[in-house]
Amino acid sequence: MKNIYLFGECMIELMPAAQDQSSTLMKQSFAGDVFNTAVYLKRTFADMNVHLVTAVGQDPFSLDMLQYFENENIGCDFVFKSTTKIPGLYSIQLDEQGERSFTYWRENSAARQVMQHIDDEVISQLAKGDMFFFSGISLAVIEPSARAAFWLLIDQLKAAGVQIVFDPNYRPRMWSGAKEAQEQFELALQKSDLSLPGVDDFQQLFGMTTVEEVNQYCQQFGLTELIIKNGEQGILVVVDGETSQFAITPVENVVDTTSAGDSFNGVYLGARIEGYSVNDSISLASKAAGFVIQHRGAIAPADEFNRFIKTQLELV
User: Which residues are known to be catalytic?
Assistant: 262
The number of CA neighbours under 13 Å toward the Cβ of 224 is 7
Dump strand ranges (E) for the chain: 3-7, 11-16, 26-31, 49-56, 75-81, 89-94, 100-105, 131-135, 163-167, 194-195, 225-229, 235-239, 242-246
Q: What are the angstrom distances between the C-alpha of 86 and each of 82, 150, 238?
A: 8, 21, 40
Question: In sequence order, what are the residues at sequence separation of 6 or more whose Cβ sits closer than 8 angstroms to the Cβ of residue 149?
Answer: 115, 118
**Cα(first)–Cα(last) distance of the chain, in Å?**
21
Question: In sequence order, what are the residues at sequence separation of 6 or more whose Cβ sits closer than 8 angstroms to the Cβ of residue 50?
Answer: 4, 6, 38, 41, 42, 73, 74, 75
Q: Which amino acid is at 260?
A: A
Cα gap 273→2, rounded to integer Å:
8
DSSP H helical segments within 89-146, as ranges? 120-126, 136-141
Cα gap 203→233, rounded to integer Å:
15
CB-CB neighbours of 155 under 10 Å:
12
Question: In sequence order, what are the residues at sequence separation of 6 or more whose Cβ sits closer than 8 angstroms to the Cβ of residue 311?
Answer: none
CA 239 to chain centre: 21
Identify which of 66, 90, 92 has the alpha carbon closest to the alpha carbon of residue 78: 66
